[in-house]
Amino acid sequence: MIRFAIAGNPNAGKTSIFNFLTGASQQVSNYPGVTVERKEGMARLGDRRIAVVDLPGTYSLTAYSREEVVARHFIVEEKPDLVIDVVDASNLERNLYLTVQLMEIGAPLVIALNMADIAEKRGFVIDAERLSLLLGVPVVATIGNKGRGVYKLLKTCVEAMDNGVSLIPKPVTYGHEVDQEVDELGETIAGFPAVAAKYPPRWTAVKLIEADEEVVDEVRRLCGADYDTLAPHVARAAHAIAAHFDDDAATIIAERRYGFAAGAYKECVAFKGEARQHVTDKIDTVVCDRFLGPLFMLGVVTALFFCVFKISDEWAWIPWFGGPVSPTGLMVWLFDQFSSLVAGLEARAPMLHSMIDDGLIQGVGGVMSFVPLIFVMFLFISALEDTGYIARVAFILDRVMQTFGLQGKSILAMIVSGGLGAGGCAVPGVLATRTLREERDRLVTMMVAPLMNCGAKMPVYAMLIAAFFPDRRTAMMLLLWGISWLIALSAAWVLRRFVIRGEQTPFVMELPPYHVPVPRSVLKHTWERTWMYIRKAGTIILAINIVMWALMYFPRPPETVAADAAREVETTAGEVRAAELAYSFAGRFGQALEPATALAGFDWRTNIALVGGFAAKEVVIGTLGTAYSMGNVDPDASESLSARLRNDPGWTPLKAFALMIFVMIYAPCLATVAVITRESGSWRWAAFATAYSTATAFILAALIYQTGALLGFTA
């Protein structure tokens, strides 16, 4: 089996080509020894099976970020049979800088000239054959997001290897003076067998002249005591280049790379008359404008929330028995039917009935009823990602981020965590901090990314808004979105000045051209994210709900407790069950917390749900459903959780709002805590994130509730 690696700049369409090559045969793991993810898949050409590795997107192979180190190590040390370099044809000159660095390594190379359609629309005419001659490797035009040219690319790679066609690129030239020093040092390095066996001598010479720390350390290790013999040759070469050009050697080599890329670009690119302004530039004059841009972004987020609630819950557009229903209404009806099916068990096996109905159906059903909302949310978010608008949001907010002490790239991690509106997840948000070069920037971003409104918090918001703010759904979601950003930025400001101090690093962001969303890609990403939510409901949340049910069911109270609760004639069965719940382990723990949590308006049932939410925020819904099904309603009544809370005298809009703020801020879920521990390298940072966020959440929720009570908003 042969193995290909796919390299390229971010937003060059690398992942689209990988997805078309491998289809569904993909797996995600980590590179050995580091936390950077690696995607692997299997491509087929006839009877041939080709292993394909999607390298992290990177602009350079200089070892600054973890992505750059991983991509370079894979090519240099694991030596794939072929590297496919995906370049953005509409930004060819900039993308060729990475190509030059791949050529320096001397690995077998094929160029995928991607986004050829966008380049053509912008008036560029690229001579692929000429570019192939200049670089010495095949160049294949592709349109990755539509799958065009991808099969030809794969066929070109395999046939070239089968037919013995050389895929080794031409040597990169840096000009006579630099080449002379590089070649002489390369010959010297070839005399050190341990180094020459691992690294190409000429590439090693360039890296040593640049004083690349990773390579210098490895060469020193490989040479051992002999490094003292090699070091003077490296110093002499670097000094000779610096003296000739009156600048440091690393800068001169970088300039020569850019010069090589610029020369290839000029040789191969012409224009159709005068290159016309691309539609992307025209749109960006409005979307990225300093004043219109934020207004446009606010309009997009408003439309997002409006459409999500209307399509998933308010509009009855699915034909059903007795008339059309909404997707959420259909899910609620479905779980009501499940409850009806097990109703006969109550008299014969009350404990089994309680476990199935209260623990499983009411708990998991409460979470699953929000699947339509989550699906529609992810659908719109995926479409916005596919258009290229997400990068514009990052550009618009970059200046604000810098003001609050966050690095510009932090915006990407926060958007992934749910910062565009909702529908994100803090786990990939924390993982996205790997692109930040400075450790301080990474830590601050890790601490605040979980404060965004992830998809797990959406069901809690949706349920409480449906119960207490049904006529102001869009306005409430916009308010929660704005509050999450305000709290996250304020937390970053405090952390940067008092906990994680240090200078901020500059940030340059690429704005990819706009695309019409590709339905296949959008639906694929939407389903992957929705399935992850469903899978959590069917595994983690199911297990936690069973545990929480057991804690809320046992121990059973003595007969005197139940008799005391039912002594009055008008006492309902629901009130008897409330006494039983209060007697349980969970009830006692919730009541023990109540003297403190009452400041925020939380009663003991709410405390039980919030403790379960430490594992996963979706559990808050499931546990509330279980608690109120076991507690204060008639077992024969069939109501959604929203209706139950709305009709409960202990609940008010003020309490609901305080609870939403608390859920927004308090402890990251267990999965996020685990990822913070791994990414930061210490459990102390994960413990700090849990402690500071929970303390902040309680203080703010208590302030909101107490202030609202003073102002008379308790009704």
For the ranges 332-341, 438-447, 494-503, 553-562, the lowest mean pLDDT is seen at 553-562
212 and 139 together in one domain? no
pLDDT at position 654 is 95
Alpha helix (H) residue ranges in 554-652: 559-565, 573-583, 585-597, 604-612, 618-630, 641-647
Q: Residue 92 is inside which H or E element, if any?
A: helix 92-105
Is the pLDDT at 635 greater than 60? The verdict is no
Q: How many CA atoms lie within 13 A of 305 on its CB side?
A: 25
Average of per-residue pLDDT across 91-116: 92
- The residue behind tokens 């003077």 is 232
Q: Which domain holds residue 607?
A: 540-710
Give the closest residue to 582 by CA, choosing from 608, 615, 610, 600: 608
Please, which residues have CB within 8 angstroms of residue 625's CB and are 6 or more apart in sequence? Answer: 362, 363, 365, 366, 641
pLDDT digits (tens, 9 = 90+) for 146-201: 889 999 999 999 999 888 888 999 988 888 888 899 999 999 999 898 888 888 89
Whole-number Å distance between alpha carbons of 169 and 264:
14
Give the closest residue to 620 by CA, choosing from 459, 473, 470: 459
Is the pLDDT at 88 greater than 80? The verdict is yes
Is the pLDDT at 227 greater than 70? The verdict is yes
226 and 138 together in one domain? no
pLDDT at position 561 is 55
36-40, 80-84, 498-502, 547-551: which has the highest mean pLDDT?
80-84
| Residue 413 included in any domain | no
Give the closest residue to 100 by CA, choosing from 168, 10, 167, 169: 169
Q: Which amino acid is at 204?
A: T
| Residue 495 included in any domain | no
pTM score of the predicted model: 0.67
- Other CB atoms closer than 10 Å to residue 324's CB: what's the count? 12
- The residue behind tokens 């490094």 is 227
3-7, 310-314, 428-432, 548-552: which has the highest mean pLDDT?
3-7
At 495 the three-state DSSP class reads helix
pLDDT at position 692 is 95
DSSP structural state of residue 318: B
Whole-number Å distance between alpha carbons of 262 and 468:
61
* Residue 314 or 626, more confident: 314
- The residue behind tokens 């409480």 is 464
Average of per-residue pLDDT across 657-668: 95
pLDDT at position 68 is 76
For the ranges 64-78, 220-234, 372-386, 551-565, the lowest mean pLDDT is seen at 551-565
Band the pLDDT of 637: cuts 50, 70, 90: very low
Give the closest residue to 314 by CA, choosing from 304, 301, 327: 327
* Residue 636 or 357, more confident: 357
Q: Which amino acid is at 709?
A: A
| Residue 444 included in any domain | no
| Residue 273 included in any domain | no
| Residue 225 included in any domain | yes
212 and 91 together in one domain? no
**Mean pLDDT score of the chain:** 84
pLDDT at position 108 is 93
pLDDT at position 64 is 65
633 and 594 together in one domain? yes
7 and 142 together in one domain? yes
| Residue 524 included in any domain | no
| Residue 142 included in any domain | yes
Structure tokens at 633: 């309603």
pLDDT digits (tens, 9 = 90+) for 35-58: 456 788 899 888 889 999 998 888
Structure tokens at 72: 């370079």
Task: Among 245, 275, 291, identify where a domain stops.
Answer: 245
pLDDT at position 378 is 81
Give the closest residue to 17 by CA, choosing from 89, 120, 92: 89
Task: Among 137, 162, 187, identify where a domain stops.
Answer: 162
Spatial contact of 606 and 624, defined as CB atoms under 8 Å apart? yes
Alpha helix (H) residue ranges in 169-313: 176-190, 193-198, 201-209, 213-223, 227-245, 249-268, 279-287, 292-309
φ, ψ at 366 (rounded to 5°): -60, -35
Please, which residues have CB within 8 angstroms of residue 130's CB and are 6 or more apart in sequence? Answer: 267, 268
| Residue 424 included in any domain | no
Band the pLDDT of 569: cuts 50, 70, 90: very low
582 and 644 together in one domain? yes
Whole-number Å distance between alpha carbons of 543 and 680:
28
- The residue behind tokens 């439309």 is 303
Is the pLDDT at 659 greater than 90? The verdict is yes
Band the pLDDT of 575: cuts 50, 70, 90: low
Band the pLDDT of 277: cuts 50, 70, 90: low
236 and 129 together in one domain? no
* Residue 637 or 462, more confident: 462
How far CA 100 is from CA of 260, 264, 374, 459, in Å, comes to 8, 10, 43, 49
Is the pLDDT at 31 greater than 80? The verdict is no
| β-strands 82-88, 48-54 pairing | unpaired
551 and 696 together in one domain? yes
pLDDT digits (tens, 9 = 90+) for 382-430: 888 788 887 788 778 777 887 888 876 787 788 878 887 666 788 778 8
| Number of domains the chain is built from | 3
What is the length of the chain? Answer: 715
DSSP string, 412-481: HHHIIIIITSS-B-HHHHHHGGGG-SSHHHHHHHHHHGGGS-BTTTHHHHHHHHHHH-TT-HHHHHHHHH
194 and 155 together in one domain? no
Band the pLDDT of 544: cuts 50, 70, 90: confident
pLDDT at position 437 is 65
Is the pLDDT at 274 greater than 70? The verdict is no
95 and 205 together in one domain? no
Spatial contact of 513 and 90, defined as CB atoms under 8 Å apart? yes
CATH number where 27 lies: 3.40.50.300
679 and 617 together in one domain? yes
Whole-number Å distance between alpha carbons of 209 and 214:
13
54 and 189 together in one domain? no
How far CA 428 is from CA of 15, 35, 354, 705, in Å, comes to 16, 12, 37, 33
Is the pLDDT at 280 greater than 60? The verdict is yes
pLDDT at position 400 is 80
Task: Among 119, 136, 162, identify where a domain stops.
Answer: 162
Band the pLDDT of 562: cuts 50, 70, 90: low
Spatial contact of 548 and 626, defined as CB atoms under 8 Å apart? yes
